Structure 1
């Protein structure tokens, strides 16, 4: 699993931004960006792939086709000229930062060593806070699947989620009025809501293939969605995606 190294003085003052890459170029782009001094977060999970003569364990991206990087949004050229990078995720030509709390939650999951997997995007459900175990302090959506409880963590900007199995005794249900990020609230409210953010988000969201991508469409998006669907179906059995 990778978490990046902060080698540029003052980098922590910049927001985390989502960078879209070509299919299977996540590690290549991340290595290049680290090599020129950027702080990169490329969360991965281990899975086993089966061939007729062997079984191989590999690290795969939790968010296929994306990595997260801290940098000055007004100076995107070094990012955009990185081999394998398609674009910086945003609305129109304006990059949109990923919410810090969502990045922190994913980083906590990676550090915990618990087996997180890609999951169908979810922004509604019973919101909980983990109060025991290696994920203490993390907030997410609690969901049941085949008799087991899982904590779903989402990156709202990408409309992608990951899930990890948790002990029900670890979590505490949060009050229904608990604050959510402005972006999460706007997405959950829907296009007919009077929330002030939605008019600015709805058109870009729907204009770019129903996910917040500036312009890219095609095979990579389909592969990423299929990967998440297969992972959800196989999560309970501990099988790998292929």
Structure 2
């Protein structure tokens, strides 16, 4: 009999995503914790850190019958649910997050799109990606929503790589 696994999103206690991710791996539960690099400034030094792309969330790939095993991990609060049903994240959305979180941000000083405009990336590694524009401090920032989980993330991208959608 074929075992069917789904991607789910678990909500965690603050700042415990990495600990939960490691514990899930120890228990041989497939988990994914997308991260992004940030530079943190202290009074005496700067340090580059990897922080969760979605604070308080970890993705797990399990059959529905094994959801209880995830809830037994210390720090896991609950599964993200809609109308009482745990949200299933499509494989294509997980692949998109993996693709985006593995690439460096592209920064531009061009600023000719209007905030809230729906656009599509026309070339490059993000080709085909659709989102809404958020201009910030001379950069074009594209916000992307994972529809099935209602999670949002953003990328900085050259405005020249975008095309407006109606």
Matches of 1:152 and 1:112, distance apart in 2: 16
Residue number in structure 1 paired with 2:7: 16
CA contact (8 A) 1:17 1:70 kept: yes
CA contact (8 A) 2:122 2:163 kept: yes
Residue number in structure 2 paired with 1:172: 163
Residue number in structure 2 paired with 1:81: 72
**Structure 2: tracts of 5 or more residues without a match:** 108-114
- CA shift digits 1:77-133 (9 cap, x unpaired): 1100012211111135421112444333322111223279xxxxxxx9333222222
More displaced, 157-166 or 20-29? 157-166
CA contact (8 A) 1:102 1:153 kept: no
CA contact (8 A) 1:105 1:153 kept: no
Residue number in structure 1 paired with 2:31: 40
Matches of 1:148 and 1:52, distance apart in 2: 27
Runs of 4+ with >6 A deviation = none
1:146 pairs, out of 137, 145, 148, with: 137
CA pair 89-108 structure 1, distance change in 2 beyond 3 A: same
Deviation of 1:56 (Å): 2.0
Residue number in structure 2 paired with 1:56: 47
CA contact (8 A) 1:20 1:89 kept: yes
| Structure 2 residue 94 is the aligned partner of structure 1 residue 103 | yes
CA contact (8 A) 1:102 1:154 kept: no
Taking structure 2 as the reference length, the TM-score comes to 0.80
Matches of 1:144 and 1:44, distance apart in 2: 23
Matches of 2:150 and 2:84, distance apart in 1: 19
Structure with the bigger percentage of strand = 2
Deviation of 1:159 (Å): 4.3
Counting matched residue pairs gives 158
SS for the counterpart of 2:102 is helix
Matches of 1:115 and 1:20, distance apart in 2: 30
Deviation of 1:36 (Å): 2.2
More displaced, 75-84 or 102-111? 102-111
Taking structure 1 as the reference length, the TM-score comes to 0.57
How big is the alpha-carbon RMSD for the aligned residues of Structure 1 and Structure 2? 2.6
**Structure 1: tracts of 5 or more residues without a match:** 1-9, 117-123, 177-242
| Structure 2 residue 29 is the aligned partner of structure 1 residue 72 | no
Matches of 1:56 and 1:34, distance apart in 2: 27
Residue number in structure 1 paired with 2:122: 131
SS for the counterpart of 1:17 is strand
- Which structure has more RCO (C-alpha within 8 Å, separation ≥ 6)? 2
1:91 pairs, out of 78, 82, 87, with: 82
